[in-house]
Amino acid sequence: MTSDAFNMSMRKFLKQVGVTSQQEIEKAMRAAHPANPVSAKVVLTIPELGLEHVVEGKIAPGGDE
C-alpha cells in the first residue's frame, strides 16, 4: 500500500469512528439527561498488529438544547 493510500484509508476509518461515535454519544446523553460529567472509554484494537489503544476521558452534559 502506498503512503497516500494508507493515509486516505486511515483517515476514512477515523472519520467514520469519530462521526458515528459522536452520534451515539449525543443520542445516549439526550436519553439519560445526566446532571454531571460522564466517564467515557474507547478501546481501539487491531488484532493483526497486536495493538490495543485505550483513551479515557469525561464528557460534560450540555445545556438546554
Per-position pLDDT tens, the chain of length 65 = 679 999 999 999 999 999 999 999 999 999 999 999 999 999 999 999 999 999 999 999 986 54
**64 half-sphere exposure, CB direction, 13 A CA radius:** 0
User: Is residue 64 in a domain?
Assistant: no
Give the pLDDT of residue 19.
Answer: 98
User: Whole domain around residue 41: which residue ranges?
Assistant: 3-59
Residue 65 lies in a domain: no
21, part of any domain = yes
Q: How many domains does the chain have?
A: 1
**What pTM did the predictor assign?**
0.83
Q: Can you give the pLDDT at residue 53?
A: 98
Residue 9 lies in a domain: yes
**pLDDT for the residue 64:** 53
Instruction: Return phi, psi of residue 2, to 5°.
Output: -75, 165
CA distance 17 to 37: 22
